[in-house]
Amino acid sequence: MTITVFIDGAAGTTGLEIADRLAGRAEIELIALADEDRKNAKKRAQALNAADFVILCLPDDAAREAVELTTNPATRIIDASTAHRIADGWTYGFAELEPSQAAAIHDARLVSNPGCWPTGFLALVRPLVRAGLIPPDWPLSASGASGYSGGGKAMISEFENASDAGGTDTAFRAYGLGLEHKHLPEMQKHARIEHAPIFQPAVARAYRGMLIEVPLALHALPRKPSVQAIEAALADAYRDSPVVYVLPTEGVAALTVEEVAGTDRMHLRVFGNPERGHARLVATLDNLGKGAGGAAVQNLNIMAGLDQTAGLVL
Ligand SMILES: NC(=O)C1=CN([C@@H]2O[C@H](COP(=O)(O)OP(=O)(O)OC[C@H]3O[C@@H](n4cnc5c(N)ncnc54)[C@H](OP(=O)(O)O)[C@@H]3O)[C@@H](O)[C@H]2O)C=CC1
Ligand SMILES: CC(=O)N[C@@H](CCC(=O)OP(=O)(O)O)C(=O)O
């Protein structure tokens, strides 16, 4: 079986990552537009409606336009943008989120690819809410650092052209200081919690990679779970996953933003101090891997009934 795939936005940061992962796969035929046609709505519409699968790697408005241009009901869409992650009629493309999620993705026509920050947050929080260890109304927070490719071509240029107007030579920059971020509605909805977390993102001078952590005052939680109980709930949730790993913390004195950069894996760890009743839940992933391109390819594989890890870097 051969499937045809069109990446709309193939020249962008995420689009190139996905094309790399699909290159050389015999079961996939890529539909490509000439460079001068890649923003021509008529040519895009032809490609969108000719493909079995399209992957949108576009800014939100262009992603919405691409969906409107896709009139062929047989064309199935994976949208990597933020445009449809909490929209009705779209299936959330995080295969590990719920035991039934991969089956829902397999059957869906419209799949929204998760945001990079929500991927780490949801991986840590959703199983604990599902298990009743974190109440849905609990005041959560999340902090972390992303590689600068997380901001697409514009931020890559800002970090790699420090001496240009608008360039930066910073090593680490906190942002989202207005306590608002485009990913908060997605985190809240898919974690099934009543309040968005207090979110403290930062960008670091690393091209790719990401670390996100959620602190928990275990002693204050109604069920006062132990560090081991938190770790066991996560291990149980990802026991069969070829992508998400819950790893031991013994001997781990430090973690870097680059830990799994260049791969499509996600690592989860639960650091804890039982005497204090404190825990730090930490996820490391690649913003361009499980945080974007890797997840999109995993979703494509699942939708097409292929091995979900085909083409992934694990
Ligand atoms: N970077 C990341 O880590 C992640 C990104 N995403 C999401 O993926 C999407 C793409 O992001 P990213 O790859 O980083 O962004 P980039 O800016 O690197 O790439 C976007 C691409 O879309 C092209 N484009 C813009 N408007 C149109 C249009 N109307 N028609 C056709 N092409 C168009 C741009 O063209 P041009 O080259 O001319 O600018 C560019 O090539 C965004 O929605 C982003 O939120 C999701 C998760 C993580
Ligand atoms: C470092 C940086 O700025 N990262 C972006 C998130 C990456 C991204 O493009 O968001 P999506 O995952 O929704 O596509 C941000 O925080 O807005």
Q: What is the per-residue pLDDT for 1?
A: 81
pTM above threshold 0.95: yes
Q: What is the per-residue pLDDT for 172?
A: 98
User: Confidence class of residue 299 from pLDDT cuts 50, 70 and 90?
Assistant: very high
**Candidate list 48, 54, 102, 116, residue with the active-site label:** 116
Average pLDDT over residues 50-60: 98
Give the pair of three-digit tokens for residue 242: 């070829």
HSE (CB half, 13 Å, CA atoms) of 92?
20
Is residue 164 predicted with pLDDT exceeding 90?
yes
Strand order in the sheet with 110-112: 28-31, 3-8, 53-56, 76-79, 110-112, 91-92
Q: Is 293 in the pocket of ligand 1 (CB under 6 A)?
A: no
**Which residues lie with the beta carbon below 6 Å from any ligand 2 atom?**
82, 115-116, 146, 150-151, 155, 183, 201, 203
Q: What is the per-residue pLDDT for 91?
A: 98
Q: Is 288 in the pocket of ligand 1 (CB under 6 A)?
A: yes
Cα(first)–Cα(last) distance of the chain, in Å? 24
Give the pair of three-digit tokens for residue 141: 């927070």
Q: Which among 235, 292, 303, 238 has a CA at the least distance from the CA of 264? A: 292
Distances (CA, A) of 29 to 24, 32, 123, 168: 9, 10, 32, 40
How many angstroms separate the CA atoms of 208 and 246, rounded? 21
Spell out the domains of the chain, with CATH numbers in brackets: 3-114+292-303 (3.40.50.720), 116-287 (3.30.360.10)
ipTM of the complex: 0.96
Average pLDDT, the chain: 98
Average pLDDT over residues 20-26: 95
Give the pair of three-digit tokens for residue 110: 């419209």
Q: pLDDT per residue over 213-234, tens digit each?
A: 999 999 999 999 999 999 999 9
Query: 84-99 in b/e burial notation, b at 16+ Cβ within 10 A?
Result: bbeeeebbbbbbbbbe
Could you tell me if 270 and 98 are in contact, meaning their C-beta atoms sit under 8 angstroms apart?
Answer: no
Give the pair of three-digit tokens for residue 272: 């804890």
Supply φ then ψ for residue 203, to 5 degrees.
-120, 140
- Kindly report the protein residue whose alpha carbon is nearest to atom 23 of ligand 1: 9
Question: Is 57 a residue of the active site?
Answer: no
Q: pLDDT per residue over 132-149, tens digit each?
A: 999 999 999 999 999 999
Is residue 77 predicted with pLDDT exceeding 90?
yes
Query: 278-307 in b/e burial notation, b at 16+ Cβ within 10 A?
Result: bbbbbbbbbbbbbbbbbbbbbbbbbbbebe
Q: Is 81 in the pocket of ligand 1 (CB under 6 A)?
A: yes
Q: What is the per-residue pLDDT for 208?
A: 98
